[in-house]
Structure 1
Amino acid sequence: MKRAGPEKARAGLVLAHGRGADAADILGLWQAARLPDVAALAPEAPGHSWWPTSFLAPAAQMEPFVARGVAAMDTAVRQFEAEGIPRSRIWLAGFSQGAGLALETFARQGEGLAGVLAFSGGLIGTGDAGGTADPALYGFADKRFDYPGRRDGAKVWISVHERDPHIPLARAQRSAEVLAGMGATVETAVWPGAGHGMLPRDLDMLRTWLSA
């Protein structure tokens, strides 16, 4: 776990890195956002990857890795709480694998948190929904999204390219529907064309929401 920002902060940001990156790398996002009164914590995945396969893979392949990642994110949230930052001022964010992990942590254990920003990501799901392979999900079958509690008052940002090689647009859109159904205020951005990365508006949203 790496930390950046003031010892006594107004708000906290838990950042999850993508595949092949590390905590120091994703902390660069906090630095680029220029949030002097916000502290950031970034857990680090073993081997620089939260899970070894596509996040669309069957639940039996994903769940042990997802549970470990969610626990790491929750540890960071609890550290901020121990520092005196209330849950209502703690945000989650991430890119790619980290975006999926941030969304999944928010859906599973994010009651009371300020919200989550997912840059090129989607929910992982709580189990297999059955059915056949779906071309809209890159040949994987659908998942269940059975999450507990409500997320009223929280804000969610999900961005994705129209043709992202790793994140199906259908899963990003379904993620937005699920979290809106839990009471969160959800905004989505679909960038035109093919790609897998952040755009300037992503950073603008992070800066705007955490500065409010």
Structure 2
Amino acid sequence: MSQHLAPLALGGAAPDRARYGLVLVHGRGGTAADILGLGDALALPDVARAAPQAEGRSWWPTSFLAPHDQVTPFVEAGLSAIEEAIETLVQTGLPRSRIALAGFSQGACLALEYAARRGDVMAVFGLSGGLVGTGDAEGRPSEALYGHGPKRFDYSTSLKGTKAYISVHDQDPHIPRQRAQDSADIFHKLGAETTLHILQGAGHGITETDITALRAALNQ
């Protein structure tokens, strides 16, 4: 099954005049136009932005923790949408080496998955997210994964020189802290300069710490 993607939402500087590019990926129930507002919060007028739109405002209908075959077709469609957004910026003047990727919730999972599988981005920011994984692993469902089984993370991408930032609340209703920690460990092993930011308490959202980290990466 594949998704029919709406046109990209664009904002910020013209790509041929921008210092950096930023591809933003919305979460469940969000829109491309909504997530472009995150770019506005950065207050960086020299950043070109592009945001793909998921059909029905959702990249997949279930949890990203679900068995691999249940999410794979949707994940593949989402990765293609990200690639399209990046290529739009590249074709209008920005090299991939100056394009960062950021997403929230489902969008964070997609952004992280894209970077782990394909690389070739300046930085990736998974705001309340974790890796989807490359397949199901042996092992029983666990409370740490909200009743789901473990996944494999078979990536061979070199992320040396790439910044990876992952954030999650200690009690996030959608993103297990364990999956965020495992994702950070994977990015570290792939060579990325990795930061894991865990907020105490319950919550699921973008924080001022996230905005500050993203702004710092795009304001060099």
Q: TM-score if structure 1 supplies the norm length? A: 0.98
Match of 1:22 in 2: 31
Q: Which amino acid aligns with 2:122?
A: A
CA distance in 2, matches of 1:167, 1:158: 11
Mapping of residues 154-169 of structure 1, within 5 Å: 154-169=162-177
Structure 1 gap ranges (5+): none
- Are positions 1:2 and 2:9 aligned together? yes
CA distance in 1, matches of 2:213, 2:190: 21
CA distance in 2, matches of 1:55, 1:19: 11
SS for the counterpart of 1:84 is: coil
CA distance in 1, matches of 2:13, 2:194: 29
CA distance in 1, matches of 2:9, 2:74: 20
Q: Which amino acid aligns with 2:168?
A: V
Match of 1:202 in 2: 210
Q: Deviations over 1:46-94 (max 9, x none)?
A: 0000000000000000000000000000111111111221111100001
Q: Which amino acid aligns with 2:207?
A: L
- State the shift of 1:134 in Å: 1.1
CA distance in 2, matches of 1:143, 1:35: 37
Instruction: Number of aligned residue pairs: give it.
Output: 211
Match of 1:54 in 2: 63
- Pick one of 184, 208, 213 that aligns with 1:176: 184
Runs of 4+, deviation exceeding 2 Å: none
Structure 2 gap ranges (5+): 1-7
Match of 1:134 in 2: 142
Percentage identity across paired residues of the two chains: 54
Match of 2:96 in 1: 87
SS for the counterpart of 1:186 is: strand
- Are positions 1:105 and 2:114 aligned together? yes
Match of 2:123 in 1: 115
- Are positions 1:148 and 2:160 aligned together? no
SS for the counterpart of 2:209 is: helix
- State the shift of 1:117 in Å: 0.7
SS for the counterpart of 1:192 is: strand
SS for the counterpart of 1:205 is: helix
SS for the counterpart of 2:218 is: helix
- Pick one of 80, 90, 94 that aligns with 1:71: 80
- When the two chains are superposed, the root-mean-square deviation of aligned CA atoms in Å is 0.8
Bigger shift: 38-47 or 129-138? 129-138
